Copies of this chain bind each other. A is one copy, B any other.
Amino acid sequence: MIQQLIDKITKLNAPIVVGLDPMLNYVPEHVKEAAYEEYGATLEGAAEAIWQFNKAIVDQVYDLIPAVKPQIAMYEQFGIPGMIAFKKTVDYCKEKGLIVIGDIKRGDIGSTSAAYAAGHLGRVQVGINTFQGFGEDFATVNPYLGSDGVKPFIDVCKTEDKGLFILVKTSNPSSGEFQDQLVDQTPLYELVGRRVAQWAEDCMDGTYSNIGAVVGATYPEMGRVLRKIMPKSYILVPGYGAQGGKAEDLIPYFNEDGLGAIVNSSRGIIAAYKQEKYAGFGAGHFGEASRQAVIDMKEDIMSALVRGNVVSAADR
C-alpha cells in the first residue's frame, strides 16, 4: 500500500494529504441551510452538511493530491448519522482514486485491536461471507499498550496490503508530557520510534514499509532524529499551517531520496475560504478556495524542499 501512495505522490509531485476534519463551523451557511431544510437541524442534518461539504471539496482537489485523511472524531461526534457520513466520505474518496488514511488513533489489546484492524483495514467474517466495515487504506494507531496492541493491525496490513501510521511524537503543545520523558537519557518517543522501525522491517512494500509513523511538524529537531531512527517508515506530518509548522520545518522529515514524508493540512485547506487570503472566493465558492489553498500548499512545500536540496528543481 505504501508503494501505491509513493507512486501517487511522485506522479503528482505532492507529498501532501488533505485532512477532512469538518467542524460544523467550517461549513458555509448555505450548505448547512440546505441540509437542515431536508433533514432538520438534527444529527442527520449535521451529517448531511459535513458530507456535502466534503464532497464539494473532494470534487475540487482530488486531481491534485494523492490522499485524504478523514478524522473520524469529527464524524463520530454526530453519532450514527455521523458515522454514515464518514463511511460515505471514505467510499467517495476511493471512487475518486484517492488513498484514504483513516485518522482513527485506535489502540487496544489482542482480539480488541484485531477487531479495530478488521473493521477499518480488513474484513470481518459473517457466516461464509466477508465484509469490509469502513475500508480505509491506512489507519493511525496509538502505541501506548505496546506490541500486543499494534501486532493485530500489522497482521491485517500484511494480509490485506494496508498500512499504518503509528503515533510517535504528536504535534500538540503538551505532547512532551509523557512522550518526551527520558528513559536512560533517551526520550520515550525515540523508544517508540525504534519499535516502529522494527515493526516496519517486518512489513516492507518496495523500498518503504507499510508501517509508518506520525511525527508533528511542530518539532522539527525531533523529526530529524526520528527520520534517522525509522529509515524505512513514511512519516505522516501533522501541524503544518494552522498549528504553526512552516514549510522549512518539514525538510528534516524527508529522506535523501526526496521521499519519506507526507504533510497534512486540514483547516488550512478545507476552511480556506474563511482566510483573508482566499476571501475573494466567497463562501459560495469554498471548494475553489480549497483548490487554490492546495496549489499554494504544494508550491510552498515543494519550493522549501528545493531550497533544502531534498528534491532537485528539475524534478518538480
A172 in contact with B148 (CB, 8 Å) = yes
Q: What number of copies of this chain does the assembly contain? A: 2
Interface residue ranges of A57-83 to B (CB < 8 Å)? 71, 73-74, 76-80, 82-83
Given A41-B126, A79-B131, A113 and B73 contact (CB-CB distance below 8 Å): yes
Interface residue ranges of A11-36 to B (CB < 8 Å)? 21, 23-24, 32, 36
Q: Which of B115, B125, B146 contacts A74 (CB 8 A)?
A: B115
Chain B residues near A43: list those with CB within 8 A: 124, 126, 131, 133
How far is B42's CA from A184's CA once the two chains are assembled, in angstroms?
A: 51
Interface residue ranges of A76-97 to B (CB < 8 Å)? 76-80, 82-84, 87
Q: Which of A24, A79, A116, A181 has the most CB of B within 10 A?
A: A79
Chain B residues near A79: list those with CB within 8 A: 87, 119, 131-134
Interface residue ranges of A184-239 to B (CB < 8 Å)? 184, 188, 191-192, 195
B21 in contact with A112 (CB, 8 Å) = yes
Identify the stretch in A103-111, A256-264, A280-288 within 8 Å (CB) of chain B at 4 or more residues. A103-111
Given A105-B107, A179-B146, A41 and B128 contact (CB-CB distance below 8 Å): yes
Binary B-proximity of A155-191 (CB < 8 A = 1, otherwise 0): 0000000000001001111111111011110001001
How far is B128's CA from A42's CA once the two chains are assembled, in angstroms?
A: 10
Could you tell me the distance in whole angstroms from the C-beta of A92 to the nearest C-beta in chain B?
Answer: 15
Given A105-B106, A111-B23, A119-B82, A126 and B42 contact (CB-CB distance below 8 Å): yes
Q: Which of A134, A145, A167, A191 has the most CB of B within 10 A?
A: A145
Could you tell me the distance in whole angstroms from the C-beta of A180 to the nearest C-beta in chain B?
Answer: 9
A73 in contact with B144 (CB, 8 Å) = no
A147 within 8 A of B: yes
Q: Number of contact residues on A: which range applies?
A: 35 or more
Please name the residue on chain B nearest to A183 by beta carbon. Answer: B181
Please name the residue on chain B nearest to A74 by beta carbon. Answer: B115
A77 in contact with B46 (CB, 8 Å) = no
A118 within 8 A of B: yes
Can you list 23 A-B pairs, Cβ within 8 angstroms, ordered by A? Answer: A32-B127, A36-B127, A42-B129, A43-B133, A73-B106, A73-B108, A73-B113, A73-B116, A78-B124, A78-B131, A79-B132, A82-B133, A105-B107, A109-B175, A110-B172, A142-B144, A143-B178, A144-B167, A144-B178, A145-B167, A146-B179, A148-B175, A181-B181
Query: Given A36-B126, A105-B142, A144-B167, list of 20 further CB < 8 A pairs?
Result: A23-B111, A32-B127, A41-B126, A41-B127, A71-B112, A76-B116, A77-B118, A77-B124, A79-B131, A83-B83, A105-B106, A109-B171, A142-B142, A143-B178, A144-B170, A146-B172, A146-B174, A146-B177, A148-B175, A182-B184
